[in-house]
Chain A
């Protein structure tokens, strides 16, 4: 069974640009979660999508947004990039709510 996949592996942008990150969940999983892992800060919850709808968001500004497609894959968009947005962005999926979440390999975003 294929795991969670993410693309691209690495992304380099300059301040003020926009970044788009993609995630495909494990087959059969309908919930997709996005987390940010910045150096020294641990994993911080960004967004949760389920059945195509945004269900919850963490303490991040509106320039972090995304969507979930009918096939349950998801996209994270970060507008007006700032230097502190440099981090590993992780996507996870789960079969049901309150069950374990399975993570993808992440996208390393570097903002110059």
Chain B
């Protein structure tokens, strides 16, 4: 069965303290891995798509990387406005085009 696991569940950082969020996956035939940001009570906001191992994408203080088993979302010198829940999702070849989401990492930057 396809699985997407995110760690840690929650992370508290000081402003400027860089860190990484992890998304490990076990799927049959990865077609794409997606990162989203979600603020409380709102819909997820698209951040990145990664399709193959070794691929990297950057946007402001965020950088996403992908290996054959996991993806990392690196946050460099975070600011309080980066506080949100970060969701990882995968498209697998047997998923019928639905996204399979992890439970997310809740990030608080103070």
Contact = CB atoms under 8 A, between A and B. Distances in A.
Interface of A: 4, 6, 31, 33, 35, 41-45, 48, 55-56, 58, 88, 90, 92, 97-106, 108
Contact of B43 (A97, A99, A105): A105
Given A90-B43, A103-B43, A43 B101 contact: yes
B97 A103 contact: no
A34 to B, nearest CB: 10
- Interchain residue pairs A-B with the least CB separation, the first 3: A56-B96, A103-B43, A45-B98
A31 B96 CA distance: 12
22 contacts: A6-B43, A31-B97, A33-B97, A33-B98, A35-B99, A41-B103, A42-B102, A43-B44, A43-B87, A48-B96, A56-B97, A88-B41, A92-B99, A97-B97, A98-B31, A98-B32, A98-B97, A100-B32, A103-B36, A103-B43, A104-B43, A105-B43
Nearest to B6: A42
A103 B87 contact: no
Contacts of B96: 48, 55-56
Given A42-B101, A43-B44, A103-B45, 5 more contacts: A43-B101, A56-B96, A100-B34, A105-B43, A106-B42
Contacts of B97: 31, 33, 48, 55-56, 97-98
Interface residues of B, number: 23
A104 B103 CA distance: 19
A5 to B, nearest CB: 10
Nearest to B34: A100
Contacts of A102: 46
A22 to B, nearest CB: 14
Nearest to A50: B97
A105 B42 contact: yes
